[in-house]
């Protein structure tokens, strides 16, 4: 009887072990399907990927720095030439030099 009980427990352990393996396989498959579905939905919504966003963000930062540098250069040149800037310059008109 001891041998039969031992074999019964061995079979039960093997069954539980196989069931755990199957459950892990099902979990991995569900994760794969969910990830693929989420990626497809994001592609359909034209969402930008993180690395593309970071690249554009860096380009904007550099452009802003260049813009500030150019603003300072223009202001220095205007001061050197004695050009006055007023509200008309902000409206898109060219600043006038003193006559």
Q: What is the mean pLDDT of each run of 10 residues along the chain (99 residues)?
A: 75 88 91 93 84 96 98 94 67 57
What pLDDT is stored for residue 51 in this prediction?
93
Instruction: Give pTM, 2 decimals.
Output: 0.45
What pLDDT is stored for residue 84 in this prediction?
76
What pLDDT is stored for residue 35 in this prediction?
94
CB 56 within 8 A of CB 64: no
Domain ranges of the chain: 1-47, 48-99
Give Cα separations from 85 to 6, 66, 71, 72, 77 (angstroms). 97, 21, 13, 14, 12
């Amino acid at each position: 009887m001891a041998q039969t009980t031992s074999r019964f427990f061995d079979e039960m352990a093997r069954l539980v072990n196989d069931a755990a393996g199957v459950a892990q396989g099902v979990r991995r498959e569900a994760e794969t399907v969910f990830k693929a579905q989420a990626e497809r939905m994001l592609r359909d919504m034209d969402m930008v990927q993180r690395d593309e966003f970071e690249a554009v963000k860096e380009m904007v930062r550099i452009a802003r720095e260049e813009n500030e540098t150019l603003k300072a250069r223009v202001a220095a040149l205007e001061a050197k030439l004695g050009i006055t800037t007023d509200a008309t310059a902000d409206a898109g008109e060219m600043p006038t030099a003193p006559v």
